[in-house]
Amino acid sequence: DAGITQSPRHKVTETGTPVTLRCHQTENHRYMYWYRQDPGHGLRLIHYSYGVKDTDKGEVSDGYSVSRSKTEDFLLTLESATSSQTSVYFCAIGGGNYEQYFGPGTRLTVT
């Protein structure tokens, strides 16, 4: 399995609070991705990174920001959490051949 971890694995937070999710990899892959998965929608790309300090938006980026200051870490921040952001968040890494490997996921509940 690819060396990719996510933290926290579970989180419950209140509406309006900021939340940061962390993705850490030990594979030295260039590309990192944040997805959310919801029933009826499948996996949707939030943001991705193609190198340190190089990031771009995905299809559902509103309300989210990301940062990548080191190759191994990719942070996803919900600036002011809303109930619609209750979801399962997956981080993925890729080496440039389109294959992506996923972390174990973070279950986020916004009350």
Q: Which residue has the tokens 């990899």?
A: 25
What does the block give as tokens for 111? 């009350």
Of 10 and 111, CB closest to another protein = 10
Q: Shortest gap between Cβ of 96 and another protein (angstroms)?
A: 6
Number of alpha carbons in the 13 Å side-chain half-sphere of residue 67: 7
| Rounded Cα–Cα distance for residues 65 and 59 (Å) | 13
Q: How far is the CB of 80 from another protein (least distance, A)?
A: 26
d(CA 21, CA 83): 16
Cβ proximity to another protein, 14 vs 98, nearer residue = 98
- Interface residues with another protein (CB under 8 A) are 31, 33, 40-43, 45, 48, 50, 56, 58, 90, 94, 96-105
Q: Count the Cβ atoms, other than its own, within 10 Å of residue 34.
A: 28
Q: Cβ closer to another protein: 97 or 111?
A: 97
Rounded to the nearest whole angstrom, what is the least distance from the CB of residue 101 to another protein in the complex? Answer: 7
